[in-house]
Amino acid sequence: MNQHKTPLFTGLLNHIEKNPIAFHIPGHKQGKAAEPTFRNFLGDAVFSIDLINIEPLDDLHHPHAIIKDAQELAAYAFGADYTYFSVQGTSGAIMTMVLSVCNPGDKIIVPRNVHKSVTSAIIFSGAIPIFIQPELDEKLGISHGITPNSVKKAIKAHPDTKAVLVINPTYFGVAADLEEIVRISHKYDIPVLVDEAHGVHIHFHEELPLSAMQAGADLSATSVHKLGGSLTQSSILNLQGTRVSHKKVQTIMSMLTTTSTSYLLLASLDTARKQLATNGFTLVDEALRLANDTRKQINSLNYVYCAAHEIIGTEAAYSFDPTKLIISVKDLGITGYDAEVWLRENFSIEVELSDLYNILCIITPADTKESAGKLVHALKRLDESNTETICGKDVQVSIPDIPLLALTPRDAFYAETEIIPFCSAAGRISAESIMVYPPGIPIFIPGEIITEENINYIHKNIRAGLPVQGLQDETLETIHVIKEHKPFT
């Protein structure tokens, strides 16, 4: 297929060249009625293609023309049988995956470090999560992937499992042995769903981890907007094989998608696919070279450490994306959040995320030696400015154990609840989720029994200034717990 073509974007351009008289939404009508300051900032071109699904422009809910052609080109580029464009982000694509394979009461094997959209999908579907604790990197204090052996054990313990969900790669760029996980799961005819939010680019360079489609997975939700050059909120859902009905996937995707689909987002997916398919290797290769050079410079500092390929070597850390700069600051005696704030206030540098021990910076084709050099310079200053807080001993890192599940997340979400002080909630069943976001990994979810360990871990993150989210009470002083319940077996 000719990957230089952009049928959707070209179709939009052809349409506006005809200068049609619009008596349809959006009401700004190519920006004519938009607020002038905003219109002048964005420019007329943006408003000209902010259109709606009129007949000449196809319909994402029933693609048969330019959208269909664009999705077929994307499927070919990513090695899928079918590709579906998502204007609901990768969260919408992830929820589509889970709802496509799970009915109420069905079991799904998932790593504990899943994104909050997986938890939402489990609540919507009524599925029962079978959690696997991911491997902990004790030096960095981050979770890696799940191992093939842990998946095999979970399947044997729960042979009625309907799906296995894998993160590939993690937010920090670490990938498990996905190909082996797929082989094991398919041996039991269980489909594999992949959260590929942070891996759109890995398909286009052999030095990066295998993509979901390359590893033989059945479905993958892929954030083109994160690292592939499309606009924020635009993603794709890839499908291959016949274990999951492509018609059911299309139906559920449509159910979860606005009928006012953004053609700006759709066009950006079409053009980003073209760039990845025709020039992806070169772009990724340049980013890899810059990332590796930047990492080397960071590791010449005294106390700041940037992880490299030494973190791989296990089934859970099977391969690594070097464009992710995992920068540990714990030996400085500060938290990742402290470092994030310091970089912002002193050098106007914004990082991807911070946690108790690290900051994460991402190198993409948009970065240059100049921008990377500014990061290195800032870290050098940070390294030199914290000599009074340097830790003389190893910092113990930990993550809490997975709480016991007393109710299905769906039953807990809809159960009768009461509000109690959060500090005294140990032993009660949570009706809410709570997480540190980013990355959005649940500390506990609806239906789980709250433990003192959970509470202490959350308070530790709060004291560090990290963004703890999920509770209805934004002060984090109270929590909704189950008033009455009937535990399932």
Tokens found for residue 346: 């002193």
Above pLDDT 70, what percent of the chain? 96
Q: What is the pLDDT of residues 293-339, one digit of tens each?
A: 999 999 999 999 999 999 998 888 999 999 999 999 999 999 999 99
Average pLDDT of the residues of the chain? 95
> Are 260 and 52 within 8 A, CB to CB?
yes
Q: What is the pLDDT of residues 34-56, one digit of tens each?
A: 999 999 999 999 999 999 999 99
Closest CA to 129 of 435, 448, 439: 448
Amino acid sitting at position 451: T
Does the pLDDT value for residue 401 go beyond 80?
yes
Tokens found for residue 109: 């094997």
Q: Is 104 exposed, middle or buried (0-12, 13-18, 19+ CB in 10 A)?
A: exposed
Question: Which of the two residues, 388 and 340, has the higher pLDDT score?
Answer: 340
> Are 87 and 67 within 8 A, CB to CB?
no
Closest CA to 273 of 57, 62, 72: 72
Can you tell me the distance from the alpha carbon of 100 to that of 191, in angstroms, rounded to the nearest whole number? 11
**β-pair partners for 291:** none
Q: What is the pLDDT of residues 353-385, one digit of tens each?
A: 999 999 999 999 999 999 999 999 999 999 998
Does the pLDDT value for residue 489 go beyond 60?
no
Can you tell me the distance from the alpha carbon of 404 to that of 430, in angstroms, rounded to the nearest whole number? 11
Amino acid sitting at position 461: N
CA angle at 381 for the pair 375 and 385, rounded to the nearest 5°: 145
Closest CA to 178 of 132, 207, 146: 146
Q: Which domains, from first to last, does the chain contain? A: 7-277 (3.40.640.10), 281-389 (3.90.1150.10), 409-482 (3.90.100.10)
Closest CA to 111 of 160, 61, 146: 146
pLDDT of residue 397: 63
Burial 241-273 (b: 16+ CB within 10 A, else e): eebbebeebbebbeebbeeebbbbbbbbbbbbb
Does the pLDDT value for residue 392 go beyond 60?
no
Closest CA to 343 of 299, 302, 375, 297: 375
> Are 339 and 345 within 8 A, CB to CB?
no
Tokens found for residue 253: 């995707």
pLDDT band for 461, please (50, 70, 90 cuts): confident
| DSSP-derived secondary structure letter, 380 | H
Within a 10 A sphere around the Cβ of 484, how many other Cβ atoms? 9
Residue 411, CA atoms < 13 Å, CB-side half-sphere:
18
Amino acid sitting at position 201: H
> Are 361 and 416 within 8 A, CB to CB?
no
- What is the enclosing helix (H) or strand (E) of 253? helix 246-255
Tell me the helices (H) and strands (E) count for the chain, helix number first.
16, 20
Chain-centroid distance, C-alpha 45: 30
Three-state secondary structure call for residue 437 = coil
Can you tell me the distance from the alpha carbon of 469 to that of 228, in angstroms, rounded to the nearest whole number? 28
Three-state secondary structure call for residue 193 = strand
Can you tell me the distance from the alpha carbon of 465 to that of 445, in angstroms, rounded to the nearest whole number? 22
pTM: 0.94
Can you tell me the distance from the alpha carbon of 112 to that of 42, in angstroms, rounded to the nearest whole number? 41
Distances (CA, A) of 233 to 23, 230, 296, 367: 28, 9, 33, 21
